[in-house]
Amino acid sequence: MKNCLLHLLVASLTAGLSMAQGDFQKGVSYYKQGQYSKAITEFEQIVKSSPDYESGHRILGDCYLKTKNYDKAIAAFRNALRIKNDGYFSYHGLALAHYNTGAYRDSIATLLKGERYARSPRDQYQLYHVRGSAYFNTSDFEKTISDLKKAVSIQRGNPGDLLQLGIASYHLGQRTEAETFLNQALALNPEDLEAKRYLSRLHYQDAIQAINEKDFGKATSLLRNYTDQHPQDGEAWFNLGLAHLFAEHALAAESALLKSVQLLPENWEGYNRLGYLYEKQKNYRKALENYQKAHQLNPESQIEESLKRLQERIRREKDSG
């Protein structure tokens, strides 16, 4: 595809050029060799002597783009479009330059204007690929999905397209689509940490749903896998503790809840659940200790009632002893 673009660009450059032939031949030679800085020197001279030479501005813009001189690329492509406003190559180059400066809305606006000139499947893929990604970076996830689905229908195999489709679907709550796209991205790039992270989030949400549906076996299985991958996530350990607690797996619940309060020492709910667990085991002193910590962090009436109840039980134990 790169060679095809190069031949098209060079062919258009030769049309109508009657001056600075030496500079042109050298510039094209440098461009073909990937010596873009040297090509820039030649084409800067060409457009200086022929300011209305659209193709010269266009190839100069592409050289600036490839050397990451994005501000100059923007100026060069704008000059090309000022002279000839129906060339998709210049719209695409200008949009890329804007994209690489973080001006995503300018990139989108450029491609909206140039969309009618993207006639070939190659040009259409480039348009949907860049504009979809620009929408992604502005958090416009519905338009992200619209454009990137069109991109992958033309050309599959770009893991970046699939990753952004997956993440956009995740943010819109489209769970099945998100998992499908993220798995496809991961199949193409098994080391993709973002795809793994968002798939883990989906599985975490499934685990919470399983707790709500009282499917504690499924919840504990999912949460064990999740905490294996994210051992520092205190909230996940808390929910794993809850699942074990509701399933009446006391030792597993205690282990998970202790890990949770170690990671989230300000989370009163962890101490409250430990208090409840120890109270069920009739370990009233440990129960009281954890209820007290929970009450210090959240002095609300329900915990206060638990404290009074435990204090009374401990008093009775002393009296009976």
CB contact at 8 A, 23 and 45: yes
253 and 300 together in one domain: no
Residue 312 belongs to domain spanning: 266-321
pLDDT tens-digit series, residues 295-312: 999 987 688 888 888 888
The overall longest dimension of the chain from CA atoms, in Å, is 111
* CA separation for the pair 199, 219 (Å, rounded): 16
pLDDT tens-digit series, residues 149-172: 999 999 999 999 999 999 999 999
Average pLDDT across the chain, whole number:
91
Q: Which of 21, 16, 23, 18 is nearest to 54 (CA)?
A: 16
Q: Would residue 192 count as lying in a domain? A: no
Tell the residue number behind the tokens 């794993």, with chain if given.
Answer: 240
* CA separation for the pair 308, 315 (Å, rounded): 10
Q: Dig out the tokens for 123 from the structure.
A: 């040009």
Q: Would residue 69 count as lying in a domain? A: no
Q: Which of 266, 259, 230 is nearest to 242 (CA)?
A: 259
225: domain CATH number is 1.25.40.10
* CA separation for the pair 91, 71 (Å, rounded): 15
Under DSSP, the state recorded for 298 is: -
pLDDT tens-digit series, residues 52-62: 999 999 999 99
283: domain CATH number is 1.25.40
247 and 201 together in one domain: yes
Residues contacting residue 178 through CB under 8 Å, at least 6 positions apart: 166, 167, 169, 170, 198, 202
What is the C-alpha end-to-end distance of the chain, expressed in Å? 88
Confidence at residue 135, expressed as pLDDT on a 0 to 100 scale: 98
pTM of the model: 0.79
* CA separation for the pair 252, 264 (Å, rounded): 18
Q: Would residue 49 count as lying in a domain? A: no
Confidence at residue 321, expressed as pLDDT on a 0 to 100 scale: 59
Q: Which of 154, 143, 153, 101 is nearest to 164 (CA)?
A: 143
CB contact at 8 A, 105 and 136: no
The number of folded domains in the chain is 2
* CA separation for the pair 160, 153 (Å, rounded): 14
Q: In this predicted structure, which of 171-180, 250-259, 271-280, 311-320 has the lowest mean pLDDT?
A: 311-320
Domain end, chosen from 260, 282, 306, is at 260
Q: Would residue 237 count as lying in a domain? A: yes
Q: Would residue 73 count as lying in a domain? A: no
Task: Calculate the CA 187 to chain-centre distance.
Answer: 17
Domain end, chosen from 260, 281, 301, is at 260
The runs of H, that is alpha helices, within the chain are 2-14, 21-32, 36-49, 54-66, 70-83, 88-100, 104-114, 121-137, 141-154, 159-171, 175-188, 193-212, 216-229, 234-246, 250-263, 268-280, 284-297, 301-320
Q: Would residue 292 count as lying in a domain? A: yes
Task: Calculate the CA 317 to chain-centre distance.
Answer: 57
Q: Would residue 179 count as lying in a domain? A: no
Q: Would residue 106 count as lying in a domain? A: no
255 and 270 together in one domain: no
Domain end, chosen from 260, 287, 302, is at 260
